[in-house]
Amino acid sequence: MSKEWLDRLQQWAPYAVTPLIVLAALPAMGLTAWVTLTIAGLTMGMMLFLVASGLTLIFGLMEVLNFAHAAFVTVGAFVTVSVLGPLVGWTTAPSLTLNLLALLMALLAAAAASGALGFVFERIIIRQVYGAPLHQILITIGALTVIEQLVIVIWGPDAIALPKPATLRGSVFLGSSPIETYRLVALFVGLAVAAAMQLILTRTRIGLVVRAGVEDREMVQSLGYNIRRVFVGIFIAGTALAGMGGMMWGQYQALVNYQIGDSMLILVFIILIIGGLGSVGGCFIAAILVGLTSNYAGFLAPTLALGSNILLMALVLLWRPRGLFPIGEQ
Amino acid sequence: MAGQPDKIPEQPSEQATIALAPAVSASKPHQSAKLRRASWLSWLVSDDPPGRFLLNAILLLVLAAFVFAPFLFPGTKALGVASRICIFVILVASYDLMLGYTGIVSFAHTMFFGIGAYGVAIALTQGWVGWGAVILGAAAGAGVSLVLAAAIGILSLRLRAIFFAMITLAVASFAQILAEQWRSLTGGEDGLTFSVPAILKPGFRLFADPVLGVTINGPVITYYLIFIVSLVLFLLMLRIVNSPFGRVLQAIRENEFRVEAMGYQVVAYRTMVSAVSAVMAALAGALMALLLGYNGPDATLSFSLMIDILMMVVIGGMGTIYGAVIGSILVILAEYYLRNVLGAVNGAVSETPFLSALFHPDRWLLWLGVLFVLIVTFFPQGLFGWLRQRR
Amino acid sequence: MAEADDVLLRLDDVHTDIGRYKILHGVSLTARRGRVSMLLGRNGAGKTTTLRTIMGLWKARAGQITFDGQPIGAMDTPDIAQLGIAYVPEYMGIFGKLTVRENMLLATGAQGFAKDSLDRVLAWFPALKLKWDSTAGSLSGGQKQMLAIARAIVEQRRLLLVDEPTKGLSPVVVDQLVEALLGLKNEQTTILLVEQNFRVALAIGDDVAVMDQGRIVHSGDMAALGADEELQQRLLGLSMAVDT
């Protein structure tokens, strides 16, 4: 009886980590701060999830780790700048509808641009290095450098301001806790995308093939599916998602510079490691965990804040060496 | 996993088989008869000379250039560049031990570089002075690096390559953050400035009169110190890769399953090589601190430095040790002088804004990056490896 | 000797290497239409490698593989599967995180399950019906094997490649599997079956090929081999003659 109970506990323990941390934080910081920071953490988690989800699927399916993923984030952020520039009439108007419409345009443009770049990138660079991990790491780092420098060539070396739309500045109040309005929008967008991904993965044939492919690529091919073509699609979707993440993040920071992708990259890697490579659900939970940790640590222990997620990763690895929700054999 | 037969090995893809082919083969057909006769010279380079006549000549010329550098390239700036090159040769060659010979990608190399530098910097700022402090600091840096590399290795080297790479990135980031935050020990973002031992100071004169037109002052002595230590470490690394230990490393890179099946503990070998590599990097760091009289996160711990190292090892030639020499020289000279070249091109295309931005002197990294990607794709053996295989 | 159009699958002098290791040294065998061809041999003889080569998972270095007259040696695995060849690997290849239903669904085309086909398969393996919505990872070893086979046959296939289906299973489950395979045989499905269990091989095999060290060392009639104990001993040794 107790062995079964222990097994159950083992199985459900990873799910408990996030709620436990959220609950533990409450007494440590008081209700007002807790509400603000938790929402902030969830939002940051959503934006990180957008960027990380593509990468984890790409790795889970084809075992390709694209260090240049950060470049797609950066491209998305800068495309946003170019799109919102001409739309300044919409963003400065006191109309919520126009503001949101402008953001939607930027979101779609960022996704399209990054997706298109992803298509080209897969063709020229990734195809060379399937099955060769050393090469992948080297060539994608080189590509990262080149793309970032090209971004500078096109948009200049200086950081560019990206002020939030008129109706989305400032905060709303939940009780006595201030919550930035933009954060609510980002939270909503993130959840919507996550929900859409979940639907596609669980309700469609292509989603089924992807989920099976992450577990056992060879077997899916033996069943007659051309996993290479599926992979190209996933790669483009992943880079498009990264572009969206870049757009949301850049808008959130209200400042865009050519290293915006790099700053996210290390957090994204931590999320991948904590969540388990290839697991989208794990990625979701890990992203929220990382977002919350960043915000909580930033409030409770500022000097530790930057390193808090790395410490979190180390702790998780000591407990579960393959991440919280690993897939299949790795 | 239940039902899974013992590891179905992957049928290696074409790319995986072509790439990373070592220029060092067991039979060494590139060894020239002349060199074999000069047996003490052979012993010095551990029976692993650069190549046949052309390559040997080139490397000898390079060696001569270094030996006589203060006289051939007078001036503090040029000497600084030469010193920097020597330090990077060691930094890159030690990275080649891991990447080129054993097939491990790590992003923690700059961390060990920094630890070595901080070792010396902290020793000299905490009140100790003179050579004792320098040696103590360097030894402490090397010791910490050894232990840290071994710990990371034991915990993570059994994981897959990509996992390991990501973890080293995280660890190196953490070290960078630590260095930036721990003001009392490391001086935080500003770093530590300190006094180097007397003979290395600019004002010091070894001889009252100039020798061959050059005053033998602190910087010159610093240069020779760095050069000699680097040369010794370089030859040491040649010895390591040509030893039985080195052969096992190469075998691991080729097919680790087979090596494991033959009875070798692959994880142990990998940990050992990463420990040796880390110690070398730390010593290079110690030299760097002496050169600059300063150390800070930006000087030794930055990620862009890691990218530089990757570029140097790949462009120069992985798995050759000599490649580090070619790579370091090329990339460092490029950093300094590619700007001028770009500036000239820029002048020519100044009418077209896009082209002029493309060839802007500050965009040297773009072109280096393109070169890097091209070399990884078409010349995975790098410049030196390609030259060596040509005959 | 089989007539040319009696042969559905033909391997001609196939050599396969994995990295630097040469595994198959000139394997030639045929699988006749509507028959069950057994592929026997010790561990490491190259049986799995043969199946994987046919399936395109590993590429042959030399030799010809023809399926119904069409050369398939250079084709990609998905295309080979699309020709109507199903493969059940030794490790079963079921997707543990997906449900039984989802595993089976992957084997069907865009139109989903054909009712009669699904019914007949579930009649052979009733346990799958019970576990229809459970994750495949929660199934027992025998049930997983049933799922693997069921998935391979739920749609009409022209050739079945099965690798050691009875390995590690209880006698009860083995009997169920044999029944299903005999049922398939009645439907004129061509099967190439790798087995270690000689009793099972005798029960369902028509033709037999024995491998040793990457070569075919005997081929012919299964019943004839079953009657010749001395030949059995010589080819397969004690490890094979007795059922486990």
Residues in chain B closer than 8 A to C144 (CB atoms) = 3
Return the exposure string of B133-169: e unless at least 16 CB atoms fall within 10 Å of the residue's CB, then b.
bbeebbbbbbebbbebbbebbebbbebebbbbbbbbb
Torsional class of C215: left (φ above 0), alpha (ψ -120 to 50), beta (otherwise): beta
Q: What is the DSSP string of C40-71?
A: EE-TTSSHHHHHHHHTTSS-EEEEEEEETTEE
Compute the nearest-CA separation of A10 from chain C (Å): 16
Q: What's the mean pLDDT in B227-234?
A: 96
Q: Is B255 on the interface with C (CB under 8 A)?
A: yes
Which residues does B57 contact at the CB level (< 8 Å), separation at least 6?
none
Q: Is A158 on the interface with B (CB under 8 A)?
A: no
Domain span including residue C66: 1-84+157-233
End of a domain among C156, C182, C213?
Answer: C156
> Phi and psi (nearest 5°) for A93?
-65, 145
Interface of C with B in 193-212 (CB under 8 A): none
- Asked whether the predicted pLDDT for residue B391 surpasses 70, the reply is no
The HSE-up count of residue A96 (CA atoms within 13 Å, CB side) is 4
Which residues does A161 contact at the CB level (< 8 Å), separation at least 6?
A254, A255, A256
Residues in chain C closer than 8 A to B5 (CB atoms) = 48, 90-91
The whole-number pLDDT of residue B15 equals 31
In this complex, do C141 and B2 lie within 8 Å of one another by their Cβ atoms?
A: yes
Closest Cα in chain A to C58: A218
Tell which wins on pLDDT, C4 or A128. A128
- Could you tell me if C2 and C80 lie in one domain? yes
**First CA to last CA across chain C, in angstroms?**
33
- pLDDT tens digits for B188-198? 888 898 888 88
- Could you tell me if C162 and C74 lie in one domain? yes
**Closest in B174, B307, B365 to A310, CB measured:** B174
- Could you tell me if C133 and C167 lie in one domain? no
Residue (of B334, B345, B370) closest to A149 by Cα position? B370
| Mean pLDDT per 10-residue interval, chain C, length 244 residues | 72 89 91 93 90 94 93 94 95 93 92 87 91 92 93 92 91 90 89 90 92 91 88 72 44
Distance CA(C164)–CA(C89), nearest Å, equals 8
Q: In degrees to the nearest 10, what's the CA dihedral of B302, B307, B311, B312?
A: 20
Q: What is residue C139's DSSP assignment?
A: S
- Could you tell me if C103 and C126 lie in one domain? yes
In a domain, C67, yes or no: yes
**Number of domains into which chain C is organized:** 2
End of a domain among C139, C156, C173?
Answer: C156
What CATH number has the domain bearing residue C4? 3.40.50.300
Cα torsion A262, A264, A266, A269: sign: negative
* ipTM of the modeled complex: 0.90
In a domain, C17, yes or no: yes
Tally C-beta pairs within 8 A across A and C.
55
- Could you tell me if C43 and C139 lie in one domain? no
In this complex, do A269 and B169 lie within 8 Å of one another by their Cβ atoms?
A: yes
Query: Which 3 state secondary structure label does DSSP give B335?
Result: helix
Residues in chain C closer than 8 A to A223 (CB atoms) = 81, 106-107, 151
Best of A201, A214, A223, A330 to disrupt the C interface (most C CBs within 10 Å) is: A223
- Could you tell me if C47 and C78 lie in one domain? yes
Best of B107, B159, B174 to disrupt the A interface (most A CBs within 10 Å) is: B174
Compute the nearest-CA separation of C20 from chain B (Å): 10
Interface of B with A in 174-213 (CB under 8 A): 174, 177-178, 181
**Closest in A135, A137, A149 to B366, CB measured:** A149
In this complex, do C18 and B9 lie within 8 Å of one another by their Cβ atoms?
A: yes
- Asked whether the predicted pLDDT for residue B16 surpasses 70, the reply is no
Interface of A with C in 190-219 (CB under 8 A): 205, 208-209, 211-212, 215-216, 218-219
Interface of A with B in 223-262 (CB under 8 A): 262
Structure tokens at C82: 């699309």
Tell which wins on pLDDT, A8 or C244. A8
Residues in chain A closer than 8 A to B177 (CB atoms) = 306-307, 310
Q: Is B11 on the interface with C (CB under 8 A)?
A: yes
- Could you tell me if C109 and C165 lie in one domain? no
Residue (of B319, B339, B334) closest to B382 by Cα position? B319
**Closest in B4, B9, B11 to C91, CB measured:** B4
In a domain, C239, yes or no: no
Tally C-beta pairs within 8 A across B and C.
19
In a domain, C213, yes or no: yes
Residues in chain C closer than 8 A to A221 (CB atoms) = 57, 76-78, 81
In this complex, do C92 and B3 lie within 8 Å of one another by their Cβ atoms?
A: yes
| Domain residue extents for chain B | 76-301, 303-391
Q: Is B377 on the interface with A (CB under 8 A)?
A: yes
Residues in chain C closer than 8 A to A220 (CB atoms) = 106
- Could you tell me if C75 and C19 lie in one domain? yes
Compute the nearest-CA separation of A147 from chain B (Å): 8
Distance CA(C21)–CA(C140), nearest Å, equals 35
- Could you tell me if C195 and C212 lie in one domain? yes
Q: Is B76 on the interface with C (CB under 8 A)?
A: no
In this complex, do C76 and A218 lie within 8 Å of one another by their Cβ atoms?
A: no
Residues in chain C closer than 8 A to B2 (CB atoms) = 141
Closest Cα in chain C to B257: C19
Among A235-249, B298-312, B341-355, C13-27, whose mean pLDDT is lowest? B341-355
- pLDDT tens digits for B249-284? 888 887 777 888 888 888 889 999 999 999 999 999
Q: Is A325 on the interface with C (CB under 8 A)?
A: no
Compute the nearest-CA separation of C107 from chain A (Å): 6
Compute the nearest-CA separation of A100 from chain B (Å): 33
By the 8 A CB rule, do A214 and A276 touch?
A: no
Q: Is C231 on the interface with A (CB under 8 A)?
A: no
In this complex, do B181 and A303 lie within 8 Å of one another by their Cβ atoms?
A: yes
Return the exposure string of B8-18: e unless at least 16 CB atoms fall within 10 Å of the residue's CB, then b.
beebbeebbee
- Could you tell me if C79 and C113 lie in one domain? no
Query: Which 3 state secondary structure label does DSSP give A322?
Result: coil
- pLDDT tens digits for A72-104? 999 999 999 999 989 888 888 888 888 889 999
B352-360 CB contacts, 8 Å cutoff, 24+ apart: B354/A153, B357/A152, B357/A153, B357/A154, B357/A156, B358/A153, B360/A153
- Asked whether the predicted pLDDT for residue B27 surpasses 80, the reply is no
The whole-number pLDDT of residue B276 equals 96
Q: In degrees to the nearest 10, what's the CA dihedral of C120, C122, C126, C128?
A: 170
Rounded to two decimals, the pTM is 0.83
**Closest in C89, C97, C151 to A215, CB measured:** C97
- pLDDT tens digits for B277-315? 999 999 999 999 999 989 999 889 988 899 999 999 999
Compute the nearest-CA separation of C119 from chain B (Å): 28
Distance CA(C141)–CA(B98), nearest Å, equals 43
In this complex, do B366 and A145 lie within 8 Å of one another by their Cβ atoms?
A: yes
Closest Cα in chain C to B1: C91
The whole-number pLDDT of residue A284 equals 94
End of a domain among C133, C156, C179?
Answer: C156
Query: Which 3 state secondary structure label does DSSP give A157?
Result: coil
In a domain, C241, yes or no: no
In this complex, do A208 and C97 lie within 8 Å of one another by their Cβ atoms?
A: no
- Could you tell me if C30 and C131 lie in one domain? no
Beta strands in chain C, from DSSP E residues, in sequence order: 7-18, 21-32, 36-41, 60-67, 70-71, 85-88, 159-163, 190-194, 207-212, 215-221
- Could you tell me if C181 and C219 lie in one domain? yes
Q: Chains meeting A at 3+ CB pairs closer than 8 A? A: B, C
In a domain, C242, yes or no: no
Compute the nearest-CA separation of C136 from chain A (Å): 12
Distance CA(C105)–CA(C107), nearest Å, equals 5
Residues in chain B closer than 8 A to C45 (CB atoms) = none
